[in-house]
Chains A and B, each alone.
Chain A
Amino acid sequence: MAETLDANPRQDGTAPKTAARSFEAVTIGVSTGGVHALQKLLGQLPATFPLPILIVQHISADADSGLAKLLDERCPLRVKEADEQDEIRPGTVYLAPPNYHLLVEREGFLSLSADPYVSFARPSVDVLFESAAAVFGRGLIGIVLTGANFDGSQGLKTIKRKGGVAIVQDPADAEARQMPQAAIAATGVDYVVALDGMAALLQKLAARRNTIPHDEKGRDD
């Protein structure tokens, strides 16, 4: 499972293959104000950004796939709407489709589900975060951005519990502050930053190895 993903480095060419605890993926949860926030954040990440990015943006059930297209046009990275069984590739951004939950499978691919709403949402940030945490453990970076609800805080808590890193948009910087605030209240967050500094932080984390203080219990707890 997670260990085999380690053996298969998703880093850029400079990372040695033995980078046991290098990051493997980024998950982002965002709601109200998300279109703007995502354009800004993804717009600042270069095409060479080495990690896959999985995103849940709350969106109405009958929306079309316009957001993925828009982001793809405006950002250096490739952005696509997630399809069932997409292989998770480095440097690619996957957006949950309207009306489906997005989940990460052990074998390193994505799955979708039409399960009932979770945290009043489908796609739900909690569902993505929890399934990604189970697979990537300490190799996961979870980010909660602007939003006017509480989705994502349980998921971010799980990411932390499994040794991942939690980043939250500074509520003062967010168009809607509830979601970041709820996340900060739910768990010990590693970084609270404004959107403007976030791309630089991600690049720094992605380029680093062994960034997480780690105990001997391993990556899952």
Chain B
Amino acid sequence: MKPDEVEDVEIRLLLEGVQRIYGYDFRDYADASIKRRLNHWLAESGFDTFSQAQSRLLRERSVFESLLRGITVNVTEMFRDPAFFRAVREQVVPFLKTYPFVKIWHAGCATGEEAYSMAILLNEEGMAGRYRMYATDINETVLQKASEGVMPITEMQRFTRNYQKAGGRASFADYYTARYDRAILSAALKKDIVFAPHNLAVDGEFGEMNLVLCRNVMIYFKPALKERCLRLFDSSLLAGGFLCLGLKESLERRKMGERYEELAAPLRIYRKRYG
């Protein structure tokens, strides 16, 4: 048999085992990148083959957790894609302002930067106290970090540039205090964000959202799982609500597409139609 074929079988068995034992379902993740990351994990964990890793993986939760950390990609930043946040500010917020109170869901929030960016933006637009955010992720390690709201100070320069490009109205330094090599986000940003575990592959909807963001998460999923997520978002969103995807994700080829109109064309902001 050919090495790749053996490995593909091993990976399938491993993901099957992980699903059955731990309830985390990675079977519908796009093969190429999960394979890459699994191989990376394998090399770091010291096992020779996936078959060899399997036995301990299925018996020791700590081994599984290292796998989980290895295969979820948590790269994020404040005001990632500044043009997107500028468009939210200019084209989405005016609609949100017409509600007395809005609910927002960040699905796949990683370490929270996207939610904190949105909090800054909404506060600057005069919506402080009029929103609640649910920021969810499959990975509890990143959620823990997210709720702490502490970032490396070395990132602040880049984040400040993003903030300015995104149309920030104040000074980015107003939103954190520097402590040695850390930047601690101000409590005012945290108080209306709830961080919670949620797995898009198995868990259910969140009701009555005005805005759902799921950026750079479904890009790792196979078509069937993408469709599942989109159904989830659709049933979570109010009519007239907004769905924001990553810059390289689109509704164009999705069944759900016709229920949405695209607001800011290349920036993947969609509005759910009424009726």
Contacts and interface: CB of A to CB of B under 8 A. Distances in A.
B32 A85 contact: no
B138 to A, nearest CB: 16
Given A111-B33, A115-B36, A131-B36, A84 B219 contact: yes
Interface stretch (A165-173, A189-197, A213-221): A213-221
A130 B36 contact: yes
B258 interface: no
Nearest to A82: B248
Given A113-B219, A114-B75, A100 B248 contact: yes
Nearest to B215: A114
Contact of A114 (B32, B219, B253): B219
Contacts of B2: 217-221
A111 B32 contact: yes
Contacts of B37: 115
A104 interface: yes
B181 interface: no
Given A105-B31, A111-B33, A116-B75, A84 B4 contact: no
A121 interface: no
**Chain B contact residues: helix, strand, loop or mixed:** helix
Given A104-B32, A112-B219, A84 B249 contact: yes
Nearest to A220: B2
A220 B3 CA distance: 7
Interface residues of B, number: 23
A105 B248 contact: no
Contacts of A100: 248
B73 interface: yes
B248 A84 contact: yes
Contact of B33 (A85, A113, A218): A113
B248 A112 contact: yes
B197 interface: no
B253 to A, nearest CB: 6
Contact of A113 (B4, B8, B220, B250): B220
Given A112-B248, A220-B3, A220-B4, A105 B75 contact: no
B250 A83 contact: yes
Interface in A80-110: 83-85, 97, 100-101, 103-106
B132 interface: no
A159 B35 CA distance: 16
Contacts of A83: 248, 250
A103 B32 contact: yes
Given A103-B36, A114-B246, A116-B75, 6 more contacts: A83-B250, A105-B31, A111-B33, A113-B73, A113-B220, A221-B2
29 contacts: A1-B5, A84-B248, A84-B250, A97-B248, A103-B33, A104-B32, A111-B33, A112-B248, A113-B220, A114-B73, A114-B75, A114-B219, A115-B33, A115-B37, A115-B75, A116-B75, A127-B36, A130-B36, A131-B33, A131-B35, A217-B2, A218-B2, A219-B2, A220-B2, A220-B4, A220-B5, A221-B2, A221-B3, A221-B4
Interface of B: 2-5, 8, 30-33, 35-37, 73, 75, 216, 219-220, 223, 246, 248-250, 253
Q: Which 9 A-B pairs have the closest CB atoms?
A: A220-B2, A103-B32, A131-B32, A113-B33, A111-B30, A220-B4, A114-B216, A112-B248, A218-B2
Interface of A: 1, 83-85, 97, 100-101, 103-106, 111-116, 127, 130-131, 134-135, 137, 162, 217-221
